[in-house]
Structure 1
Amino acid sequence: MTQALTLARPYARAAFALSREGGRTAAWSQALAFASRVAADPQAQALLGHPLLNPADAVGLLAPDGADEAFTRFLGLLADNRRLVLLPEITGQFEELRAEAERVVKAKVTAASELPSAELDAIKAALKKRFGREVEIETAVDASLIGGAVIDAGDVVIDGSLKGKLERLQSTLSQ
């Protein structure tokens, strides 16, 4: 996994630079997401890994309709270098670069039950104040948390769940 991330990094940076040059980061983001989903499919992986597959055919399989010429050339470069399997890692790193450039923090809020929109708005406002950036929130439900929520915003994890509090109490008592 680490090797794949290392190999993907220069491609992600190049893709981001090309997308910014053309002022099409959002379009590239969507195109990379599509190509990444296709490349991650087991049947497509078998086809993409076949040594007789023509790079132009691989690009035709992965490029979404309406993709710009720079994007298809980028996919062609990946195909020529046999790096199409790195598309999921390239896409992830591209999105990190885009979020950094747009000054956006992506946070995942996992709660024991569905949170009302007012609570999500309050969490979003608090995170915006803490990070000084716009915040995009993704939500998830995990009943094992019992109550409260866990917020994962990049390098920062805030565990306000009842499960987490009980685990910390148990750890303190067992010392």
Structure 2
Amino acid sequence: MSQPLTLARPYARAAFALSRGDGPDQAGRTEQWSHALAFAARVAADPQVHALLGHPQLAPGDAVTLLAADGSDETFARFLTLLADNRRLSLLPEIAGLFQELRADADRVVKARVTTAGELPAAELESIRMALRQRFGREVEIETAIDESLIGGALIDAGDVVIDGSLKGKLARLRTALAN
């Protein structure tokens, strides 16, 4: 069986294309689709709902009613119906995640996770944001995390780029260099 992300990718791209639409009346639909997909993904990820979605006697219309948030547009309901017809509703969490990545890319935003041994002052966090903005040429959204095992420094994960400036990482590289 193929990986869930591989199966979800074409659906996420299709959802993103549908959400972008054409014309001035389509403004804001990407955000609406983002919220609708996030809601559907949360519902589909629930263990009881997940088991129900796999049941062969569940009608596609019933599945769409279960997963569509109040106020979802007709196009979104048709998208969910397509997923139900193809037995792909279980992929909704992956589809929603990939949709968010496509949206961030279109909005020219890079999401970065900064992990440090302790709390970073706001000024240092802003300095990291500015350096990443200069490196990527895009706006940067930063999420912070604390991992005391890093000892000091920071580990920055921004998509395909990982910058390990932690003392733990430096010690590991030094250990490898000394072993060779």
TM-score by length of 2: 0.93
- 2:57 maps to 1:52: yes
**Once the 2 structures are TM-superposed, how far is the Cα of residue 6 of structure 1 from its aligned partner?**
1.9
* Inter-partner Cα distance in structure 2 for 1:102 and 1:112: 31
Runs (4 or more) in structure 1 with deviation over 2 Å come to none
> Could you list the per-position Cα deviations for residues 84-135 of structure 1 after superposition, in whole angstroms to 9, with x for gaps in the alignment?
0111111121112111111111111111112121111111111000000011
Which residue in the other structure is 1:157 paired with? 162
* Inter-partner Cα distance in structure 1 for 2:133 and 2:35: 25
> Could you list the per-position Cα deviations for residues 120-172 of structure 1 after superposition, in whole angstroms to 9, with x for gaps in the alignment?
11111110000000111111111111111100001100001111011111111
Counterpart mapping for 1:17-166 below 5 A: 17-21=17-21, 22-23=26-27, 24-166=29-171
- Segments of 5+ residues of structure 2 without an aligned counterpart are none
Aligned AA for 2:154? A
* Inter-partner Cα distance in structure 1 for 2:2 and 2:143: 25
**Once the 2 structures are TM-superposed, how far is the Cα of residue 2 of structure 1 from its aligned partner?**
5.2
Alpha-carbon RMSD across the aligned residues, in angstroms, is: 1.3
* Inter-partner Cα distance in structure 2 for 1:165 and 1:157: 14
* Inter-partner Cα distance in structure 2 for 1:38 and 1:111: 33
* Inter-partner Cα distance in structure 2 for 1:103 and 1:84: 29
Quick one: percent identity of the two aligned structures?
74
TM-score by length of 1: 0.95
- Segments of 5+ residues of structure 1 without an aligned counterpart are none
**Once the 2 structures are TM-superposed, how far is the Cα of residue 3 of structure 1 from its aligned partner?**
2.6
